[in-house]
Structure formats: structure tokens, C-alpha cells
Amino acid sequence: MGTRYNNILETVGRTPVVRINKLGPVDIELYAKLEAFNPMGSVKDRLALGVIEDAERRGALKPGQTVIEATSGNTGIGLAMVCAQKGYPLVVTMAENFSVERRRMMRFLGARVVLTPASDKGSGMLAKAVELAETHGWFLCRQFENEANAEIHSRTTAIEILDDFADTRLDYWVTGFGTGGTLKGVSRVLREKSPDTKIVVCEPDNSPLLGSQQPQARAATGMPSASHPAFRPHLMQGWTPDFISKLTEDAADANLIDEIRPIAGSDALKVSQDLARLEGIFCGITAGATLAGGLQLAQSSPPGTKILCMLPDTGERYLSTPLFADIETEMTKEEIEISRSTPGYRFDKPSAPAPAPKNAPVKTTPQAEQFLADALKDQNNPVVMFALEWCEFCWSLRKLFGRCTIPYRSVDLDSAQYQQDNLGGSIRAALNAHTGCVTIPQIFVAGEFVGGCTEVFDEFKNGRFQQRLKDAGVKFDTESSIDPYTLLPTWLHPRK
């Protein structure tokens, strides 16, 4: 507390170890290392920083060079943070079946995300990254075989664990594997510095790559040359791609793994939800899976056993996955009953009407009327939207215009631009007098009033709005077939 940092990258690491109090046996000390406390919410922030700074030191990454990597999302999010801070363009390849929250986060951080078909699995997105790197001369991170990935965990994660248990013993360290960087980097240090600590690796029960004992086909570069024969699609995004990474294989070959535990997807979901509801720890599916492995150990361990589980990330990037499938957006029956327990502000009973405002109505002015007339005959801007800056209906229209590349002028009547002498209010009064309509937004095409949000949406669905645009000489994407009503705020969707 109270420390000042020079940049966001200095905050990577030093994540807390927290005791789990309600899920395991009372005589077992079960702990979780919460990697969600990294700045971008996952353990992969360490990887991203380690790989980029290693490449800088070696001269493999030049100033301004584009960075590229294949990722299920967390590595890409971490890389997006690091590249944003250091000034490198970033391209990420990602299979289309990973959660949309991840790709949106990466794009928000300035990265470009190239999706690959789900049918090509993790090896497909990896092959695409290699192809793009070789074609364009970009720096490929190679997270699955890059020793810098493991090295930063040896320097940071492992040392943090040793420090946190310096005054006692640690019996088990439990982790999953994806790139293998955490596994290899931490386990080799624990083997040396805490040899009595057993290393337990979890993997999906229906996709037992390590448990199958079958070898991974591999190219001379260390990259996989084919999907592993034991791979099956599974629930744990970020765990166990369709190949055994070189770093994971290194850990296995060095006898750094004491036990492999298969974890059912249903157990991963349940434990993740239990962590949230009973411990107040918000984490993802892989975290639930790892702790599920720790709970299995706890059931068969003697009293006083100390178990530490790696919880890789936060739950926010799983909103579109089965983890949240049963989480309602509308009120449940119990919540409806709570609402009905008091008389006001209910959906089944209208609230009392608000008292009429006592302020005198805003009147139009010659300046406002001239502004309106000029806007409606502006040949450079045939499509004009009179709007409020943060109105959700206005933003729904903006989304439609953006999707269809429809050029338009937005007159945001409540914005700072129109505040002097209440010009925005006067323009709205002039607009109301002109159209006979008091609601906002109001849309015009070539000076002709179309209506508000729903009127535009209706005309778009039947093709009338597109014809107006063509008649006005407006160029736009004529191939778009989007249902505009899907762009409305989610709270306007039909109530169950």
C-alpha cells in the first residue's frame, strides 16, 4: 500500500495467497493463489511481460515491430497491455469458439484479433500465427515453447510461493497446464527449494493428454505438428489445447510432475460458483477446475495438510460461457416477490406520475430555427440525427449506422457544444414545432423527417430506409442484413 509505480507493467505479480475456509475439510489448510490480482486479471500477464522483455533484451523484437501470438485469450489480453504500454502493434490469432469477452478486451486495448475456424482447434490458430509472422516479418511470441515464459515464473511466481510459505511446509502445489510456462517455471524451483512439495497437475477428464501417456508429434522448432490423439473438446478455456506444449513436455520429461488428476467439467463449474457464493472469490472455469483438484486431494489427505492451488484468472471473461448459463438477467421469482413486498417502483404496478415541472417551457429562437433550416438542407450531410449524447436509443441508431457504414451528422442537443444560452434546448423546441414530435432521437434524410428509433428500424427492415438513402445519393453497405432490433439495449428485450 502507498507504493507509486512508474507504469502498469510494474504491478504484474505479487499476487495474494488466500485461505479457502468453507469448501474443504476443516482440518486441511487449503489455499488459492489469486492470479486475477494481476493488472489484466490473469496469470498470463506474467508470461506477456516476460516474453516481450526477453525479446527486447535479445534484440529479437525491434522498436515498432508488430507482435503476433496465438492465444485462447488471456495471453492476448496480457500482451495487449504490455504492447500498449511499450508501443508495439499487436495481432492475435484466436479460435472463434473462445469467449467473446476476451476478443473485445484485446481490441479495446488496441490489438487486432484474427479469428480462425473452431474446427481447426488450437493448432489451427497457432499455424495461422506462424503463417502471418513469416509472411509479414512480425515477432512471434511462441508462448508454448518459449523458455522466457517459464523463466518469469521461476523468477516471480515460484519465489512468491516460497516466501508465502517460508514459515511452514507446503505439501501440495496444484495447477493446470496450457502453455506449460507456469508448470515448468514453478515446479523446477519447488523441486530444488521445497523438495517435499508434491506437484499435482490437473487436466480435463475427457481430454487426458498427459494421462494418456501418448507422445505429442512435434516439429524441429518444438511446435506441435499435429493434434494430440487423446484431445477432445472440453470446457476449460486456456487449459489443455489440442496438443502438449513443449514447455509442458519439458516438465514431464524432467519428472517435475508427481500426480495427474482428471477433472470433470461439471466439477469445474460447480467449484467456480461455490468459490463466488461461499468465499467471495470471483474466478473463471479453469480456476474452478484447479481448486476441484485441490478439493479431491483434501478429501484423502491427513489433517494439517497444506495445499496451494493456482487460480489463473477472473470470472468476467466467461460471461458468454456455460459458467453463466444459469445466471438470469431478469428478476427471478424470489426477486419478484421481494419487489412486491413494498408498494412502489414495480413493473406490475405503475408508479405515481411525477409532478409536472414548474419551469417555463423552452422557446425557440430565430438562431435555433436558422440552425434547423441549415441542417435540413445541408447537401454534404443528407442524413441528420438530432440526438442526446448518451441516450441508449440514439446509440442503438449509431450502431446501425456504423454497421452499415451510413454517413450521418449527429446534433447532440445536450452536449457541451450547444449549452451556451441553452441553444440545444431552443433547437429542440424548433425541432418539435417542425415535426410535431417531442421525442428524441429524430432522423431526417434529405430534409425529410423519418421518425425516431423504432420508425427507422421498421423502415430498415422493410427496405424503405435503404431506398431513401439511395434516392439521396448516400453510399452505404447495401449487403447488410442485420436485424436492427437486436441493437436495442438489453433491458428492452421482452420480459419473461
DSSP 420: G
Identify whether residues 283 and 414 lie together within a single domain: no
Alpha carbons 462 and 65: distance in angstroms, whole number: 48
Residues 323, 380: one domain?
Answer: no
pLDDT for position 480: 85
**pLDDT reading at 495 higher than 50:** no
Instruction: Give me the number of domains the chain comprises.
Output: 2
* CA distance linking residue 220 with residue 82, whole number of Å: 29
Q: What is the mean pLDDT of residues 293-317?
A: 96
Where residue 356 falls among pLDDT bands split at 50, 70, 90?
low
pLDDT score, position 337: 94
Percent over 70 (pLDDT), the chain: 97
Does 59 lie in the same domain as 6?
A: yes
Q: Within this chain, do residues 171 and 279 fall inside the same structural domain, yes or no? A: yes
Catalytic residue among 44, 121, 128, 246: 44
The arithmetic mean of pLDDT across residues 272-294, rounded, is 97
Q: How far apart are CA 125 and CA 95, in angstroms?
A: 6
Is residue 269, in this structure, part of any structural domain at all? Answer: yes
Q: What is the structure's pLDDT at 194?
A: 98
* Domain end position, chosen among 276, 307, 327: 327
The residue length of the chain stands at 496
User: In this structure, is residue 342 part of a structural domain?
Assistant: no
- Whether 361 is in a domain gets the answer no
C-alpha cell at 186: 514453478
CATH number of the domain that 156 lies in? 3.40.50.1100
What is the rounded CA–CA span in Å between residue 248 and residue 402? 45
Q: How far apart are CA 304 and CA 294, in angstroms?
A: 14
**What are the angstrom distances between the C-alpha of 417 and each of 361, 422, 424, 457?**
21, 10, 8, 28
Confidence (pLDDT) at 496: 44
pLDDT value for 354: 64
Helix pair 74-86, 44-58: axis angle to 10 deg: 50
For residue 382, is the peptide bond before it cis, meaning its omega torsion is within 30 degrees of 0? no
On whether residue 343 sits in a domain, the answer given is no
- Domain around 194: 1-327
Grid coordinates given for 104: 473485445
Residue 359 pLDDT class (50, 70, 90 cuts) = low
**399 catalytic residue (yes or no):** no
- For residue 100, name the pLDDT band (cuts at 50, 70, 90): confident
Give the cell for residue 161: 510461493
Residue with the bigger pLDDT between 268 and 493: it is: 268
pLDDT over 90 at 237, yes or no:
no
- pLDDT-derived band at 123, boundaries 50, 70, 90: confident
CATH code: domain of residue 481: 3.40.30.10
The crossing angle, in degrees rounded to 10, of helices 181-193 and 246-253 is 30
Same domain for 263 and 377, yes or no, is no
- Asked if pLDDT for residue 289 goes beyond 80, the answer is yes
At 320, the pLDDT band (50, 70, 90 cuts) reads confident
Across the range 198-210, mean pLDDT stands at: 96
Q: Give yes or no for residue 469 having a pLDDT over 50.
A: yes
Where b means 16+ CB within 10 Å and e means fewer, 427-451 reads: bbbbbbebeeeeebbbbbbbeebbb
**CA–CA distance, 199 with 84 (Å, rounded to integer):** 35
- 198-204 and 172-175 as β-strands: parallel, antiparallel, unpaired? parallel
Residues 260, 188 within the same domain = yes
Considering the domain boundaries, does residue 335 fall inside one? no
Domain check: are 424 and 486 in the same one? Answer: yes
Taking residues 374-391, report their average pLDDT.
96
| Boundary-marking domain end, from 299, 327, 355 | 327
CA distance linking residue 301 with residue 313, whole number of Å: 27
Residues 319 and 417 in one domain: no
Domain boundary among 304, 327, 350: 327
Kindly state whether residue 32 falls inside one of the protein's structural domains: yes
Is 70 exceeded by the pLDDT of residue 46? yes
391-420: average pLDDT:
95
Based on the fold, state whether residues 296 and 383 are members of the same structural domain. no
Residues 381 and 313 in one domain: no
- Is residue 352 in some structural domain? no
Specify the range with the lowest mean pLDDT, choosing from 2-6, 204-208, 402-406: 2-6
* Sheet strands side by side (includes 259-263): 17-20, 29-34, 306-311, 172-175, 198-204, 259-263
Model confidence band, residue 122 (pLDDT cutoffs 50, 70, 90): confident
- Are residues 186 and 67 both part of a single domain? yes
How would residue 357 be classed by pLDDT, with cut points 50, 70 and 90? low
Q: What is the pLDDT of residues 253-271, one digit of tens each?
A: 999 999 999 999 999 999 9
Residue 105 belongs to a domain: yes
123/236 same-domain check: yes
